Amino acid sequence: MAPKSAAASVLSRRTLLRNGVAMAALAAFSPIAQTKESTQKENTMTPTSADKNAIRTFPRVNISEAELTDLRRRVNATKWPERELVPDATQGVQLATIQALARYWGTEYDWRKVEVRLNALPQFITEIDGLDIHFIHVRSKHENALPLIVTHGWPGSIIEQMKIIDPLTNPTAHGGSAADAFHLVIPSLPGYGFSGKPTAPGWNPVSIAKAWATLMQRLGYTKYVAQGGDWGNAISEVMALQQPPGLLGIHTNMAATVPPDVSKALAMGGPPPAGLSPDEKHAWDQLVDFYKNGVGYALEMSNRPQTLYGIADSPVGLAAWMIDHDIRSYQMIARSFDGKPEGLTPDDVLDNVTLYWFTNTAISSARLYWDTVHNLPAGGFFDARGVKIPVAVSAFGEEIYQAPRSWAEKAYPQLIHYNKFDKGGHFAAWEKPQIFTEEIRASFKSLQSGVAKAAA
């Protein structure tokens, strides 16, 4: 490596602070924290009574007309600021975009349609470690279907996975064979959707991963796989590190593969390590841009989630906060409200935001960031964690960063599948359900056939 100039070798306090805090905001914890030998304090509130272990049917979703009327009133009464001072989204969600969203939300959007879809699904509640966990559970009609638990992230919900349920559980109706079938378990994260809201700190990826293993055990699944992106990836990877009995492998659409030297350079705000391949340099550039321009939401939710009263009180404020997750997702959503939908329609976007509104989970969901940063050891969200069990990776080009194959092979010694796509972003199952379904089938085919043979 060529010697650095004196100016380049001395990082400003501002650069160090910006990059260090940005990475801390997305801290997922060091791998040591998730192993079976972890010295982290464990939640010992596992219920012992039969009643607490019971799986209860979740009641039908039926938001009152009064609540719907109040939502429209609030949307239509939004107090607007002046427009942004630049011709792009560098200052945040553009006024024209959020006003288009509000016009549709306040006049045409029909929440009852998503209620019908939700109520057509088998949904349940069970108490784990003192908290009610909501989940969708759809069993395939096909014998030897492989159980799969799918975890959403922020600003997502179970709405993200609704398009993949029938293709995965009923593959013969969607171009697949009976051998492609899955039993699906789709939980709502603690503090999200219809799950209970934690009343004390302690619900973070380590405790949630343990809860998911308990859930699968409670459902009677002795062999299963896990999938996730965003927080769902962190939780699935932690499950892989904890190695609960029966977990065969995981699939991720937002892999944590960043090598230590790259992670260190990102944190210091320095140049990239020498010798990066074109794919690795592309991933580096994406990460630098995200930490510089795109991590504001995580900073606030990691440090001061309770301060976000505005998004609990204003539906338009909530929508703007949620659609500003990452620049490529935002651009896709903006085009959708401009009459050019691709991946997500205006209804898709508002189904998710409206679920957050009616469940009043703007702040309870944000606390997952705070709990992770304050109660687990520091580590980069995208840092390789040392997962040893089989892993499959689908790398979408419009994700926060597209994990290169070379990094994936180092991060996951048992990489059983890798595929990359030019299109498709952060909400893969939601945006590209057909590709996502095909990826899940291909990723777990070897594990699925092994389970089927063992059952024969």
**Token representation of residue 80:** 């607007």
CB 176 within 8 A of CB 145: no
pLDDT tens track, the chain, 456 positions: 333 333 333 334 344 444 554 555 555 444 434 443 333 333 323 334 458 889 999 999 999 999 999 999 999 999 999 999 999 999 999 999 999 999 999 999 999 999 999 999 999 999 999 999 999 999 999 989 999 999 999 999 999 999 999 999 999 999 999 999 999 999 999 999 999 999 999 999 999 999 999 999 999 999 999 999 999 999 999 999 999 999 999 999 999 999 999 999 999 999 999 999 999 999 999 999 999 999 999 999 999 999 999 999 999 999 999 999 999 999 999 999 999 999 999 999 999 999 999 999 999 999 999 999 998 887 789 999 999 999 999 999 999 999 999 999 999 999 999 999 999 999 999 999 999 999 999 999 999 876 666 655
DSSP per-residue string spanning 82-118:
PPPSSSSSTTSS-HHHHHHHHHHHHHT--HHHHHHHH
C-alpha 401/C-alpha 233 separation (Å) is 14
416 domain residue, yes or no:
yes
C-alpha 389/C-alpha 135 separation (Å) is 25
Taking residue 273's Cβ as centre, other Cβ atoms within 10 Å add up to 15
76 domain residue, yes or no:
yes
412 is catalytic: no
Residue indicated by tokens 């990059």: 19
129 is catalytic: no
C-alpha 152/C-alpha 233 separation (Å) is 8
Q: What is the dihedral of CA 96, 357, 134, 225, to 10 degrees?
A: 10
442 domain residue, yes or no:
yes
**Token representation of residue 323:** 């659609």
- Relative orientation angle of helices 315-323 and 327-337, to the nearest 10 degrees: 130
268 domain residue, yes or no:
no
* pLDDT for res 455: 58
Angle, CA 342 vertex, CA 329 and CA 138 arms, to 5°:
85
* pLDDT for res 34: 42
CB 308 within 8 A of CB 300: yes
Angle, CA 322 vertex, CA 153 and CA 71 arms, to 5°:
115
* pLDDT for res 376: 87
* pTM greater than 0.75 (yes/no): yes
Taking residue 44's Cβ as centre, other Cβ atoms within 10 Å add up to 6
299 domain residue, yes or no:
yes
Domains of the chain: total? 1
* pLDDT for res 22: 54
Q: Which amino acid is at 59?
A: P
9 domain residue, yes or no:
no
Greatest extent of the chain over all pairs of C-alpha atoms, in Å: 68
Q: Which amino acid is at 265?
A: A
Q: Is the C-alpha dihedral spanning 199, 225, 136, 156 positive or negative?
A: positive
pLDDT tens string 385-396: 999 999 999 999
**Residue 95 is part of a domain; what is its CATH number?**
3.40.50.1820
Please name the helix (run of DSSP H) or strand (run of DSSP E) that holds residue 128, with its range, or none. Answer: strand 123-128
> Closest Cα to residue 208, out of 250, 168, 158, 153?
153
> Closest Cα to residue 302, out of 378, 215, 239, 355?
378
C-alpha 296/C-alpha 309 separation (Å) is 17
**Token representation of residue 445:** 């085919």
pLDDT tens string 100-128: 999 999 999 999 999 999 999 999 999 99
CB 323 within 8 A of CB 425: no
DSSP per-residue string spanning 30-90:
-GGGGSTT--SPPP-----STTTT-EEEPPPP---HHHHHHHHHHHHT----PPPSSSSST
- Residue range of the domain that includes 125: 43-262+287-455
196 domain residue, yes or no:
yes
* Phi then psi dihedrals of residue 403, to 5 deg: -60, 120
Q: Is the C-alpha dihedral spanning 284, 403, 427, 233 positive or negative?
A: negative
Q: Which amino acid is at 403?
A: A
218 domain residue, yes or no:
yes
> Closest Cα to residue 450, out of 140, 144, 139, 143?
144
230 is catalytic: yes
> Closest Cα to residue 14, out of 24, 22, 25, 6?
22
Q: Which of 230, 324, 326, 351 is catalytic?
A: 230
Q: Which of 221, 369, 401, 418 is catalytic?
A: 369
pLDDT tens string 272-299: 999 999 999 999 999 999 999 999 999 9
